[in-house]
Every structure is written in C-alpha cells, then in structure tokens.
Structure 1
Amino acid sequence: MRKTNWTKLFLAMMLALVLALAACSKDSGGSKEKADGGDSNKGKTEQKGGESEEGIYSIEDFPLVTSNNAEPLEDGELTYGVVTDSPFQGTLNTALYSGAVDWETIKWFDEALLDADADFNYKEGAASFEVSDDKKTYTFKIKDNVNWQDGKPVTAEDWAYSFYVIGHKDYTGVRYDDSFRNIKGMEEYHTGKSDKISGLEVVDDKTLKMTFMDPTPSLLAGGIWPYAIPKHYLEDIPVKDLAKSEKVRKKPLGMGPYKVESIVPGESVVLTRNEDYWRGKPALAKLTVKRVDPSVVVKELEQGKVDMVDSFPTDQYPDNADMKNVEFLGNIDMAYTYIGFKLGTWDKKKGEVKPNPDCKMCDKNLRKAMWYAVDNDAVGKKFYHGLRWSANTLIDPAHKSWYAEDVEAPTYDPEKAKQLLEEAGFKDTDGDGIREDKDGKPLTITFASMSGGDTAEPIAKYYIQAWKQVGLNVELLDGKLHDINSFYERVGEEGNDDPKIDIYQGAWSTGTDVDPSGLYGRNALFNFSRYASEENDKLLEDGLSLEAFDTAYRQKVYKEWQQLMVDEVPVFPTVFRSIVVPVNKRVVNYSAEWEDKEPFLYQLGVSEKEPVK
C-alpha cells in the first residue's frame, strides 16, 4: 500500500497495534539489491568482527524480489492470505476504508493514478503532471487508455469527485486532513459556504488542475490525493451512505489489474483478470483474497492453501526459516519503536503543545541517561533475532535520501548513564541502590506500555530492569500493560494527557513523506511527548519551505533536525524494523517493495498449476 501523509497518523496508530502484537506488516519502503533466493536464507548468521552469531539474521541477506524467473502460466490462479483474527470490514473503496485489512483487497482492483520513485515522490503513472513555477498549481493529464472496469474512461471529473466526497460535510471516512485543507477553497466547501472547490479545475475530460495554498515538497511525497472514484457509478448515492452501499461493499468498481467477481462477506473475495488494464494484460486469470487466522499462518503456507500472506511475524521467522516450499523476501520497513518522555500537556483551545518546565522528566541528562542504560541492540537480537535493530534517529533507513546514518546517538553504556545521573544530581542518598531526585526525595518514574503478543511483557520488563541497574525506580502504569485503546487514550490521542504517565513506549509508521512535523511539531496532537522548542519549530518549517524543494537543502535541514532530537531527547528510538514476506516457490514477479513500483502487481504470476508443497 502506498501510505501517504494523508493517512500517516491514522495508520501510525494502526501500526502501534501491529508492533505490540509483534506482527510484520506488508507495508514496506526503501529498496535493497536483489540477492539470491530459494534456500539461501536458511541458517543465516550475522557476521561481526569475524565471529558469527547463530540464529541472528540481517534483513540485508534477504532477496527483495522472487528468484523464480520462469514465465507465468496463462491461466494461473493464486491465493493471497490476509492475516487477521477479525472478519474483513468490507469497505472496498480507497476514500472510504479505514482498516489496513480492507486495503489488502482494494489494491488488487484499484490503484493510484501516480507511481512513486525511489524516494517515494510521485512520478508519472496512469497520469502525468506539470508543476507551476510557484509550486502551487499542479496540472494532471490522465492517459487515454485508462478505463474503469465497466469500460468507461477514467476522467478528470472522477478524480475531482473523490475530493468532493472526502471534503463533504457528510463524509464518514478518515482521510480529510491538512493535506485536503491545503487545497484552495476546500474549507469553504467543507463548511458549506460554497458548493465548489475553487482550487480544483476540470480543464477537459482528461485534465485536472489543482491549486494549493501552501506549496511544500511534501505535496509530491503524498500530499496530493492520487485516487479517482467512478463518478458515473456512485454519484447517485448520498455521501453519508456511500460506505454502507452495495456498490462499495458488494460490487466495487476500480481501474486496477483485477476486477471483483464474488465476495463472501468478512471472509474472502474472488477476482478475475481485467483484460482492459492500462499497463497490460495481468498475468493471473484468477486471484482469491482470503482471511487467515494468525494461529494457522504457517500451516496454510506449508500446505499450499495460500501462496503468500500480507504479514508474517518476524519473531516467528527463525522457527520457520527452513520451510521448504516458500521463499522469504525481506525489506526495511518505514517504522520504529521509541521511548517517549512526558514534557508537557496539550492545550486544546490553542491546538498546540504546552511545555511544562517543572515536569519530572525535564532534565535532559536524565532522559539521555535512560537511553544509555538500555541495550537496544540486544533487544533486537533476543526478541527479534536481528530482524529489528538498534535505531539512532527518528527518520528510518527506508528513507535513504534523508536517513542520517552518521548521527551519533547514545548506545548501551550503563556507566555513562550513572555518570550523567550523578552529575545531574540524581543520587542514592540512603544507600538502597535507588536514586532520589535532586531534592533528595524518592523518585518513581511511571512507565506506560502496551499489551499484546509474546514479546510485549518481557521487553517492558527488560527496560525496567535496565533502568533499575543504573539506580532508577521505574514502575508500570497501574502495575500492568494496557491494551491499545486504553494506552493511547491515556498517552494523549484525544489531548487528555494522563498526569500519572512519565514515560511511555510507542511506535510510529512514518509513511512515504519524510516530513516529521505531524509527529513532532508544536501543533501536532500526536506529539505525545509534548515537546516544543523554537529550534524544532524552525527546522520543521525549513523542511517544508520553498527552499526545501532543493533536495540537498532539505537533506541538510533534516540531518540537523535528527541531531537536535538526539541532543534534546524528547523521545529516543529503540529499534528499526524489517518486514519478512513468505511466498510459495511457484510465484514469479513479486516484490517486498511497494505496489506502485516494478514489478507491479499485474505482473505477479505463478509458474506451476498447483502450489509447491
């Protein structure tokens, strides 16, 4: 799925659940050189200083694309498993769905009008585009051979219609955000002051012009909604009723390589080849998307009941690395886990962070000491067998043009942690091994962490023990882990910061757009640490300025921002993560990359009639 900044925050919340459950999502980013496939992954070990560590894997050793180079069968059929313990919601429309599970069906029959380059910026796909000199106006031209699956052409009116649906006051989805509000006239339309969006101009049947109020380089990194909706098919349905309509839930229409043939609600969808697909003839004659319970994923793969799945837990890879009928692909994910420090609260009236200069965690050396005290490299190896690894910045390495590998961040050094605490005045005044605060009073730090999966509790316990070893008394919030809804409600997703929480463990999916202001800006609700500073404000603003259209300038800005966050430590990243994707050995032309990059989904095929078992 192409995750853009219009869904970044919603999907980030979804990812936090995925991380807590120790699952591995298909959503991926970045690229690696193609490596040998097949059995080459078996028994991989990480080489360090001439020594090998058995059972420790590196994502760099995994191929990105299937190694099967055979020609796909003309009448091939494939079964794609979506791993979930809940029924599909069945909202099969790009503008209306809210769950990642529904996307795993949508992506086969519908797609974006734009493709993405190596830096996840838009490039020509089903539409080409031109940008005005002032970077405010974008003119898109849809190709003549791009049609809906009922034979009707995809038009500029269809693309504009998607904006009118999402911006409508009765819209029931989750897409309407700042990227839509940035369109000239959108707010007037959304509030009912106008029945037109002045920033959208349908020039002709195939040409759409969009004008934005605030030009930023993020527009081309996902800040422009790239999906059309078939206006001729859906316009008679009131916007408030679209998500529940039969045309969305039972008979969806798209422009992608496959078209929906039949649906078993909540369980499976059968799709067949779209002979009129604009890129070319799809390789498969038939595709079945079916729900797979997490408890039987391995069995379904081993028995050939599914050829591939959307997600596979990285912590289960070592026990299944020798699965003989599948090839494991891998990639760096656009995500990281982190420890956050509560440094203020959310001002609901102003819609901004309100720093608290007297907060318990306000001492920068206390925060930095807590980073030095934990061995995140060991966490990645012990709990994820090297498929997650110690992180140094808040921009992940999947964003290769922006990730600052050379930024020096604290690594495991408990003696350095103790030194910083001593110098900051956190001393053990009564000899019990636990440090008091600067006034000599007992210091207890309350830690919020999420429940879920086999790794959540032992990881939380490890961090608590590591902090205790440098003299800090850290206790779980209410003495337990919390489910995702309770956790985020108390951490502050509604702006209600629980005063009991001093630190917390969270996770973010960063999306294609490298801009971190939606997570760490002064006006970002999801800035749960409630950190704000003038220097942070300036760097985030500079990263979205007209000057930032120059890549070298933007790289410099974001490197400075990454260093600032290491120096200030409002949060610290713990581990980066990878995705591991098992595919049956009969599968050809499949990549652990994004769907809008080659090989595209329409090229996916099978070389044998039956799955390899």
Structure 2
Amino acid sequence: MKKVKSSRYWYLVILVLLAGITACSNDETKADVEEESNDEESDGESSESKDLVSMDDFSNIKNSGSENIIDGGSMNVALTSDSAFEGTLNWSFYFGTHDAQILQWFDEALLEWGEDYVYNNNGAATYEVSDDNRTYTIEIRDDVNWHDGEPVKAEDLAYAYEVIGHPDYTGMRYGEDIANVEGMPEYHKGEADSVSGIEIIDEKTIEVTFTEATPSIVTGGLWNYPLAKHIFEDIPIEDMESSGAVRENPIGFGPFKVENIVPGESVTLEKNEDYWRGEPNLDEVVLQVVGPNVVAEALRSGEIDYAPEFPTDQYTDNKDVSNLDYIATTDRAYTYIGFKLGEWDAAAGENVMNPDAKMADVNLRKAMAHAVDNQAVADNFYDGLRWAGTTLIPPSHPNYHDENNEGLQYDQEMANDILDEAGYMDVNDDGFREDPDGEEITIQFASMEGGDTAEPIAKYYIQAWEQVGLNVELLDGRLQEFNAFYDRVENDDEDIDVFQAAWGVGIDVDPSSLYGRTSPSNYSRYTSEKNDELINDGLSAEAFDLDYRSEVYNEWQQVMIEEVPVFPTLYRSVMSAANKRVTNISIGDGTEVYLNEIGITKEEPVLEE
C-alpha cells in the first residue's frame, strides 16, 4: 500500500518509543523499517531484554507502627491529574474519579466490604437480610454524626433514595440497582409520591426492600451513602448538583471536614474530632491537583507527601529514590477502546443502536482489535505494571474473570484477512481501504491526555491500524482534556467513531452499569437481547450460587468478545507513592487500614539524598 511507505517516518517514531513493537505485515516493509531504524537513535529497549517488574514485589500496606506517629501535623496529598477536578463533592452527584478521591477523605458509605467484596458489619452501620434476600435492614451506629454535629439518621439514607429516584434528579446514580428497589420505577416516573420499598423503622434504622433478590445487592447494589436531609431538603432537586451544599460547603461524616476549596485546584481538610472510628492522627490534609508529569518530582522534593495514584509508567525511573516508598495491588479497572454504535435516548432511558453507524460492522471492529499489540505496549511503557487485557471482567475479580479466555489476540495477518473477507479493499490504490460499498472511510479516534505515555500510545494505535490499511485520525488532531473528553463521549458527539478510555469496575462484578441497555454509562451504546439475557441471569436468584454466576459471566465475556462493542487493552496495577515519613496507608479493598489512622513520623518531609 502506498500510504504505508509515505507514513514510514511516524511509524519509526512509534517503533522507537515502543522499542520492538512492529506492526508490519510483510517482509519488505520489515526490511525497510530495519534499514531506516539503523539511522535513528533509540533510548528504548526491546521488551524481550527489559527487566519487568513483578506485582509480587509489592505490599498493599505501609505500616511502620503507631508508636512512631507524631501528634497532629499536616500532609500534602496529590490528586494526580492533567485536569482540574470538577468539584461535584457529593456521592449522589459526583461524576469524575478525582471528585471521588476527594470525597473519600470526608465522607463514606455506611457499610464496608471485605476482600470478598461482600458487605460486612464493620462499617458505620450494620445490616441484616431477610430469608428471601429481598429486604435489608440497616441500623446506623449511635455515634455516627454529620460534621455539623447532627446525627446521621435513617431518614438521610431514605432521602438519598428519594432524590436519586426523583424525575428532577440530574446526576448519574439512577440505574438498575436503584430501580430494583420496590416501588422505585413508579416514583421515578412521577406516578407515586413515595417509594414503597423504603421504610423508616426508627431514627437509626431503615428497611430497603427490592423487587428482585440478586447477589449484587450485598456487593455494591445496596446504595448506602446517606444525603443530609436537614441541609438539602430546602434545595430544589434540579438545583442540588450545582448548589453550594455540593460545590462550596460539602458535608460528610468521614474522618476529615472540608475547610476550604480552591475550585478545580485544591481542597484543605481539617480533622473531624468526632469521627466515629476515632480522632484522626493528622490535624490537616491538603489535597491538590498535581500533573502526572511532575508528581514524581513533587514527591522527591518533599512538596507532596503522598500520591494515592502514582503513574505506574514512572515507577522504573523513580523506584530507587531514597525518600519514597511504594505500595501496589491489582486494580479494579482496565483501559479499553470503544466503538460508537448508537446514541443514548434520554426520553426512553435506554441506549439505541444505530445500524448506519460507521463502526456498525463487527468485522471492522474485530480487525481493529486484532491489529494492536497491547502486551508490547504494556511491557514497553509500564514495565510489567500493566498487561494485555483479554475480557471485560478483570483479574481483580478472580471468581469471575475467565483466565482461560484469550480474548482478541494480536494478529495483524488475521486483521487483514477479516477486512479482506468483509469487503474492505483499497480500490483507489491510495494505501487506505474503502468500505464494502467502495466509499472512503476515515475513522475519528478520541483519546484523552494523561502523562507522558498518552500521546505515543494513541499514535501507536493509529499507526497499527494504518498498517492494516485503515485511515484513522486523532480527533481534532490532538488529545482531549479529561472533562471535555467525557463530555463529548457521554453526549455521543457525532465526530467520535472510536475512543480510548478506562473503566473502574464496581465492587460487584455485575456489568450492567457499564454495558446494560438502560445505563447511560454504556458509552458504546451497544445493546442486544443476548446481552440483556446474560446480565439478567447474572442477577437472578440462581446466581446466588457462585458456580452458576461464574458460568453466566464466562459466557457474557465470550459474547462481548464476539460482538466487540469495546475491547480491553490493558489490565492494570494501581500504585501509591509516599514520603518515608508517611505511615498507615493502604491500597485496594478489604485492608482494614482507615484514613483516620494515617500519620506522619517526622515534622518535616524526608528529602531525597
């Protein structure tokens, strides 16, 4: 193809950056690349010669003993991001991951879960389940109070359900879990003034009854973030998300209280002396946005004490820094490439497929998945701290991740064959394939900013697709800012055909919130009767049996591989970095190390030697 030769410069740039990844499909092109690469200076190593990091080298807890902690003190914490945080600081309304990072310091769920991702009774409330698994009785502990001293009450949890289910609600939390509460659909449609499945027993006790008993309820499907009724009840529901109670003076019952907010930049927190788990060790925590490109330097200099999300692509260059410690675990997340297949129908409350969408042909989607070498991307950019994804349930959920399913493996010859057989041919000899009708096809690819690796990885994917004859362009010719990216993807921007993003998988493995017919977060807009069937089977009464539910989700993982509305690119570790004076931090779920326990062992940060 002529275009392959004319674009060889950019292919060499990606070759150098990936240090060993070749996206070629014939010996002649390989020889040309090797000949030209002899004249290029490469700082990379082939993935075969690199010493890759092992997750076995890390603990997920750093604890140097409470006897070493000094009284009080202040700690600076990085919100690692290229973008300002949105500032929607309430669990009922938040959207972005950075807002969630802020929220966890001053507010929390009533229930906590252990390593098995099932709610236990060690949190701010306890719960009991009826024999038919439909009714959940939640009792809030007596010493759990809002930051203004008001008790957290059963009516606050009931109010959260009423707000989220209300027709005027503007947030993203109304989904299948909430709709499963008995009487919620009627309330949501405005056909009822209250939710029949919610009953306040006394000031601290509430019963929530669900229409269908599902195993998801005890692993994340039971909404248990109360909303302070005494603060929000006088605010119109349609105005709550933008109100001062959410954006300027948010309240919670967590270990710290919001003292000051610099919008989009920082949040200063002071300790909540009345915290139900016990008074925090630290007097103050300052959360501030720090770019991923400079967070390592901020840690090395002592400007930042703790980065709960440290970029894994920077670990190798900083692993031997004398004043830092690292902890890590397998993340409940994956990066993925998605295909826009339809639109969100707000009136109907569901995703609608568009048979005329540019990416509607499953063969085109499969070819694009086979064309990219995700393992080489992982090895060369993340040194073993990320690895090629196979299915849409990650290994963070070992009971349900199908480790025997290899997914859509890298195979450019197969990608070429699929496109040939589907009728995508280069009919005008310009180096790019036309569609089966002979029309030129240009695919717009949206990817977001995010550290040094974001741009070269996006360019690699574009070049890999070019190597199989597909004309893919970066949307607007540049990476998208985080908030703008999600605004455009969520609103089904007609200029986006393909997008690269990441999902944080819920505590519960149920995929309906990401891929369900009625989920607004199903950004590909893919729907099918088989998808509906399997999602429903995974939530059925039979699915209380672990083996049955695992079989259902194995089948669902295979269906999504065959249909390819999205495909996973990388599974990932998540890593934290901290100054050596910081102790009692953890990463991951079920560690039973809490934020009030974090402390410092020296008055000033330890500096790099």
SS in 1 for 2:465: helix
**Shift of the alpha carbon at 1:390?**
0.8
- Extract unaligned runs of 5+ from structure 2: 1-44
**Shift of the alpha carbon at 1:468?**
2.8
Distance 1:508 1:211 in 2: 29
* TM-aligned CA distance change 1:467 to 1:584, over 3 Å: same
2:598 — aligned with what? Answer: 604
Distance 2:389 2:486 in 1: 23
**Shift of the alpha carbon at 1:558?**
0.4
Indicate conservation of the 8 Å contact 1:542/1:548, yes or no: yes
Instruction: Indicate which of 255, 258, 273 corresponds to 2:256.
Output: 258
Q: Aligned AA for 2:447?
A: M
Q: Aligned AA for 2:271?
A: T
Could you give the per-residue CA deviations for residues 541-591 of structure 1, whole angstroms, max 9, x where no partner exists? Answer: 211212112222111100111112223323221112222211111222210
SS in 1 for 2:120: strand
Distance 1:277 1:458 in 2: 46
**Shift of the alpha carbon at 1:271?**
1.1
* TM-aligned CA distance change 1:592 to 1:249, over 3 Å: same
Indicate conservation of the 8 Å contact 2:78/2:304, yes or no: no
Instruction: Indicate which of 55, 64, 69 corresponds to 2:60.
Output: 64
Indicate conservation of the 8 Å contact 1:257/1:277, yes or no: yes
Instruction: Indicate which of 74, 77, 89 corresponds to 2:73.
Output: 77
Could you give the per-residue CA deviations for residues 457-505 of structure 1, whole angstroms, max 9, x where no partner exists? Answer: 32232223222323444444565555556655665x33x562x655443
Q: Aligned AA for 1:271?
A: E
Distance 2:367 2:581 in 1: 51
* TM-aligned CA distance change 1:576 to 1:445, over 3 Å: farther
Indicate conservation of the 8 Å contact 1:116/1:597, yes or no: no
Indicate conservation of the 8 Å contact 1:393/1:404, yes or no: yes
1:106 — aligned with what? Answer: 103
**Shift of the alpha carbon at 1:374?**
1.4
* TM-aligned CA distance change 1:355 to 1:611, over 3 Å: closer
2:113 — aligned with what? Answer: 116
**Shift of the alpha carbon at 1:173?**
4.6
For 1:195-214, what aligned pairs fall within 5 Å after superposition? 195-214=193-212
For 1:196-345, what aligned pairs fall within 5 Å after superposition? 196-232=194-230, 235=233, 253-260=251-258, 262-263=259-260, 265-266=262-263, 267-274=266-273, 276-282=274-280, 284-294=281-291, 296-343=294-341
SS in 2 for 1:327: strand
**Shift of the alpha carbon at 1:413?**
2.4
Q: Aligned AA for 2:58?
A: F
Larger deviation, residues 338-347 vs 459-468: 338-347
2:582 is equivalent to residue 584 of structure 1: no
SS in 1 for 2:416: helix
For 1:512-523, what aligned pairs fall within 5 Å after superposition? 512-523=507-518
* TM-aligned CA distance change 1:77 to 1:273, over 3 Å: farther
Distance 2:417 2:314 in 1: 39
The TM-score, its normalising length taken from structure 1, stands at: 0.79
Larger deviation, residues 93-102 vs 539-548: 93-102
> Percent of aligned positions with the same letter in both sequences?
51
1:95 — aligned with what? Answer: 92
SS in 2 for 1:116: coil
Distance 1:170 1:75 in 2: 47
**Shift of the alpha carbon at 1:325?**
0.9
Instruction: Indicate which of 545, 559, 562 corresponds to 2:557.
Output: 562
Distance 1:357 1:173 in 2: 29
2:124 — aligned with what? Answer: 126
The TM-score, its normalising length taken from structure 2, stands at: 0.80
* TM-aligned CA distance change 1:437 to 1:269, over 3 Å: closer
Larger deviation, residues 350-359 vs 516-525: 350-359
Q: Aligned AA for 1:469?
A: Q
Distance 2:361 2:232 in 1: 56
1:4 — aligned with what? Answer: none
Distance 1:143 1:578 in 2: 35
Q: Aligned AA for 2:605?
A: P
* TM-aligned CA distance change 1:461 to 1:599, over 3 Å: same
Distance 2:515 2:167 in 1: 29
SS in 2 for 1:578: strand
2:372 is equivalent to residue 374 of structure 1: yes
**Shift of the alpha carbon at 1:382?**
2.6
Distance 2:340 2:93 in 1: 34
Instruction: Indicate which of 529, 540, 558 corresponds to 1:534.
Output: 529
Instruction: Indicate which of 133, 136, 152 corresponds to 1:135.
Output: 133
Distance 1:401 1:109 in 2: 32
Instruction: Indicate which of 412, 415, 430 corresponds to 1:414.
Output: 412
**Shift of the alpha carbon at 1:599?**
1.1
Q: Aligned AA for 1:68?
A: S
2:20 — aligned with what? Answer: none
SS in 2 for 1:465: helix
1:10 — aligned with what? Answer: none
**Shift of the alpha carbon at 1:245?**
6.6
For 1:31-46, what aligned pairs fall within 5 Å after superposition? none
Q: Aligned AA for 1:607?
A: T
2:544 is equivalent to residue 549 of structure 1: yes
For 1:20-35, what aligned pairs fall within 5 Å after superposition? none
SS in 2 for 1:53: coil
SS in 2 for 1:71: helix
Q: Aligned AA for 2:104?
A: K
1:464 — aligned with what? Answer: 462
Distance 1:174 1:343 in 2: 21
2:39 — aligned with what? Answer: none
Distance 1:47 1:216 in 2: 48
Distance 2:502 2:250 in 1: 33
Q: Aligned AA for 2:306?
A: M
Instruction: Give the number of equivalent residue pairs.
Output: 557
Indicate conservation of the 8 Å contact 1:304/1:584, yes or no: yes
2:453 — aligned with what? Answer: 455
- Extract unaligned runs of 5+ from structure 1: 1-45
Indicate conservation of the 8 Å contact 2:175/2:518, yes or no: no
RMSD across aligned C-alpha pairs, in angstroms? 3.6
**Shift of the alpha carbon at 1:114?**
0.1
* TM-aligned CA distance change 1:590 to 1:431, over 3 Å: same
1:26 — aligned with what? Answer: none
**Shift of the alpha carbon at 1:318?**
2.6
* TM-aligned CA distance change 1:506 to 1:155, over 3 Å: closer
